[in-house]
């Protein structure tokens, strides 16, 4: 089982798994306008003779008129507002953006791996035996925020640079200091072997969430472009990433990595932490601005400027990575006393039309990639709706305390799709669920795009607008007990429970109606029943597949012709039956 009492194990297991608009060559058009000046061309007609004195008087008169006109124009012209000097934050983002742009114009260079052999080759037990000394935390006793660092080595052989920026834009590179770390047991001989310019594997941010006397861990950046967020009462599970390239493509996935960070020094009473990162990979570069706001649901505002070094086949924006081994809707068998094992149980999407979709996750027998098309979605994310301990029975991993993550676009993303990747796995140590936004227009070499969005951690349910939400899904053989002419195993009994407090007020004479559609195959015996708690209505039907092709199902409830639930969406194949 996945151990959560050893922090480094969780992060070590998420090690590095490895913008079609035409390129816009924008010319600079300079439009020069001469105000109050023009050229007069006289004809060959003779001009009258004028004495020299008269000419002088006329010239002086014209000059005086021009001076008066010029003074009047100057008095009428608005006084331009003074240009405010850029803040330290703006100057740093400009710096990072320029570095990303310059990098994209040059060939990709693999990050250096120049750690001493004893660090690069250390084993898992040695890495676990190295702890950061909390008394050496950055900004300790100076601000609400503190930063602790991860030791380089083991899986993290390409350390990152971390820089601290003061109010005057002064930038100081953080050097490795042995005294910041505690070396225990098998790691004791490694003390003093790290060069000062080695850098760090990553960092984590602490903030007083529950009490002013203790600073909780709220964010972690470790490995490639991975990062995690949690709020009070939550434990680490799902991860976010800066960018995904060619996920689930036959050519193989590319893993962009954050190579440098600039941390703005927080003031004593600051409740948000701002920092920047430079992203680099074979196909792209990027400049990122992060604004971390801890709270009941921790929030991260992300601004990104991405440059294409090469043509990108599939660009994955705001990617999320999670784990789903088993659940109540599974047809695969796992010899495990725990009823369910997962960090997330569904993909939720709020479309541009206001429709809420819930797609239950699955651990398929083969790689499955599905998508939900939209233009400018209102949001999407991977959630852990079921937060009942009885569903997991896990006293170590605490899956009932795992948060979800929700993405809200803050600028124009245009047409595209939310893509969901489900990878077969036999172990909960493998992250096998990925979701991200794929723009409809391919990202071409030399192009730049900006993606601004907000990520926030979520406890359980999210969509308060939908009256009823999916609470349980079951998938079982459709045979009746003792049935002689039992159907084949691929004929399934599908059960979907919709729950809402408002349902408790419906009388027995009021019936909710189901609306079901399938991409293939057929169904029968579709009905809706009210369960004893009065708040839950169960939609159930028998599913008959045509062949082994995947069936895409959509189901929702109506009352008097009006939709009163979110849309349940599920993809299933007959070949998944064991």
CATH code of residue 136: 2.70.98.10
Q: 498-532 burial string, b = 16+ CB within 10 Å, else e?
A: bbbeebeebeeeeebebebebeebebeeeebebee
Q: Average pLDDT in the 410-422 region?
A: 97
Q: What is the pLDDT of residues 248-267, one digit of tens each?
A: 999 999 999 999 999 999 99
Residue 41 lies in a domain: no
Sequence-ordered strand ranges (E) for 361-403: 368-375, 379-383
Structure tokens at 310: 């090469």
Residue ranges making up the domain that contains 554: 469-576
Same domain, 490 and 400: no
What is the count of structural domains for the chain? Answer: 2
Residue 66 lies in a domain: no
CA distance 140 to 134: 9
pTM over 0.85: no
pLDDT at 112 over 90: no
Continuous segment of H or E residues that includes residue 17: none
Same domain, 375 and 473: no
Same domain, 419 and 568: no
CA distance 120 to 107: 26
Q: Average pLDDT in the 57-64 region?
A: 54
Same domain, 451 and 480: no
CA angle 516, 521, 523 (to 5 degrees): 45
Residue 52 lies in a domain: no
Render 154-167 in DSSP notation, one character per residue. TTB-S-BEEEEE-T
pLDDT at 292 over 90: yes
Least confident segment among 24-33, 101-110, 473-482? 24-33
pLDDT at 520 over 50: yes
- Asked if 282 contacts 254 with a C-beta cutoff of 8 angstroms, the reply is yes
Q: At 57, is the pLDDT very low, low, confident or very high (cuts 50, 70, 90)?
A: low
Task: Give the pLDDT of residue 466.
Answer: 63
Q: What is the mean pLDDT of the chain?
A: 86
- Asked if 238 contacts 298 with a C-beta cutoff of 8 angstroms, the reply is no
Same domain, 493 and 437: no
pLDDT at 48 over 60: no
Could you tell me whether strands 202-211 and 299-308 are parallel, antiparallel, or unpaired per DSSP bridges?
unpaired
Q: What is the pLDDT of residues 417-475, one digit of tens each?
A: 999 999 999 999 999 999 999 999 999 999 999 999 999 999 877 766 667 999 999 99
Q: 334-346 burial string, b = 16+ CB within 10 Å, else e?
A: eeeebebbbbbbb
pLDDT at 384 over 50: yes
Residue 48 lies in a domain: no
Same domain, 363 and 298: yes
Same domain, 446 and 535: no
Sequence-ordered strand ranges (E) for 29-183: 130-132, 146-150, 161-165, 171-173, 181-183
Same domain, 261 and 398: yes
3, 171, 399 from 204: Cα distances, Å = 19, 20, 22
360, 426, 489, 531, 550 from 496: Cα distances, Å = 10, 26, 19, 12, 19
CA distance 287 to 303: 8
Question: Residue 308's Cα: distance from chain center in Å?
Answer: 19
Residue 332 lies in a domain: yes
Continuous segment of H or E residues that includes residue 96: helix 88-104
Same domain, 451 and 564: no
Structure tokens at 186: 């098998």
CA angle 256, 259, 262 (to 5 degrees): 130
Same domain, 449 and 477: no
Sign of the C-alpha dihedral computed for residues 282, 284, 286 and 290 taken in this order: negative
Structure tokens at 404: 């979800």
Last residue in a domain, options 429, 458, 487: 458
Q: What is the CATH number of the domain that holds 475?
A: 2.60.40.10
Residue 350 lies in a domain: yes
Same domain, 420 and 281: yes
């Amino acid at each position: 089982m996945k151990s959560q009492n050893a922090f480094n194990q969780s992060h070590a297991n998420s090690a590095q798994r490895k913008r079609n608009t035409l390129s816009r060559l924008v010319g600079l058009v300079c439009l020069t306008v001469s105000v109050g000046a023009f050229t007069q061309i006289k004809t060959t007609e003779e001009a009258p003779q004028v004495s020299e004195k008269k000419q002088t008087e006329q010239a002086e008169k014209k000059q005086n008129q021009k001076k008066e006109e010029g003074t009047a124009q100057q008095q009428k012209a608005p006084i331009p507002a003074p240009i405010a000097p850029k803040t330290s934050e703006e100057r740093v983002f400009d710096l990072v953006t320029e570095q990303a742009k310059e990098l994209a114009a040059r060939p990709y260079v693999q990050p250096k791996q120049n750690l001493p052999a004893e660090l690069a080759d250390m084993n898992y037990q040695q890495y676990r035996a190295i702890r950061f000394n909390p008394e050496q935390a950055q900004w300790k006793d100076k601000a609400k925020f503190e930063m602790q660092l991860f030791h380089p080595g083991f899986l993290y052989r390409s350390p990152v640079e971390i820089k601290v920026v003061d109010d005057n834009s002064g930038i100081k590179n953080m050097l490795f200091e042995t005294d910041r770390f505690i070396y225990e047991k098998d790691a004791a001989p490694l003390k003093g072997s790290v060069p000062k310019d080695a850098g760090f594997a990553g960092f984590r941010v602490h903030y007083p969430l529950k009490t002013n006397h203790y600073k909780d861990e709220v964010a972690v950046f470790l490995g490639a472009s991975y990062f995690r967020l949690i709020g009070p009462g939550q434990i680490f599970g799902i991860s976010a990433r800066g960018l995904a390239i060619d996920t689930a493509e036959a050519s193989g996935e590319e893993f962009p990595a954050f190579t440098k960070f600039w941390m703005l020094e927080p003031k004593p009473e600051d409740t948000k932490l701002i920092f920047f990162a430079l992203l680099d990979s074979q196909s792209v570069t990027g400049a990122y601005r992060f604004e971390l706001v801890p709270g009941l649901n921790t929030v991260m505002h992300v601004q990104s400027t991405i440059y294409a070094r090469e043509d990108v086949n599939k660009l994955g924006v705001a990617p999320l990575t999670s784990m789903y081994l088993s659940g109540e809707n599974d047809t695969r068998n796992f010899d495990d006393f725990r009823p369910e094992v997962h960090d997330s149980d569904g993909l939720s999407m709020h479309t541009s039309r206001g429709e809420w979709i819930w797609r239950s996750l699955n651990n398929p027998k083969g790689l499955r990639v599905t998508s939900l098309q939209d233009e400018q979605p209102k949001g999407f994310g991977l959630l852990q709706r079921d937060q009942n301990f009885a569903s997991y029975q896990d006293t170590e991993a605490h899956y009932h305390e795992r948060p979800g993550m929700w993405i809200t676009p803050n600028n124009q993303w245009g047409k595209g799709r939310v893509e969901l990747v489900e990878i077969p796995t036999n172990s909960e140590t493998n992250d096998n669920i990925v979701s991200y936004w794929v723009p409809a227009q391919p990202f071409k070499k030399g192009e730049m795009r900006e993606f601004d969005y907000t990520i926030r951690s979520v406890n359980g349910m999210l969509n308060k607008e939908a009256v009823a939400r999916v609470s349980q899904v079951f998938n079982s053989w459709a045979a009746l007990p003792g049935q002689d002419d039992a159907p084949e195993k691929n004929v399934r009994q599908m059960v979907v429970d919709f729950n809402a407090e408002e349902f408790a007020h419906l009388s027995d004479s009021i019936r909710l109606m189901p609306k079901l559609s399938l991409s293939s195959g057929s169904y029968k015996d579709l009905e809706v029943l009210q369960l004893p708690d009065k708040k839950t209505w169960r939609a159930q039907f028998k599913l008959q597949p045509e062949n082994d092709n995947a069936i895409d199902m959509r189901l929702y409830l109506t009352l008097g012709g009006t939709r009163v639930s979110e849309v349940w969406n599920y993809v299933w194949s007959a070949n998944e039956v064991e």
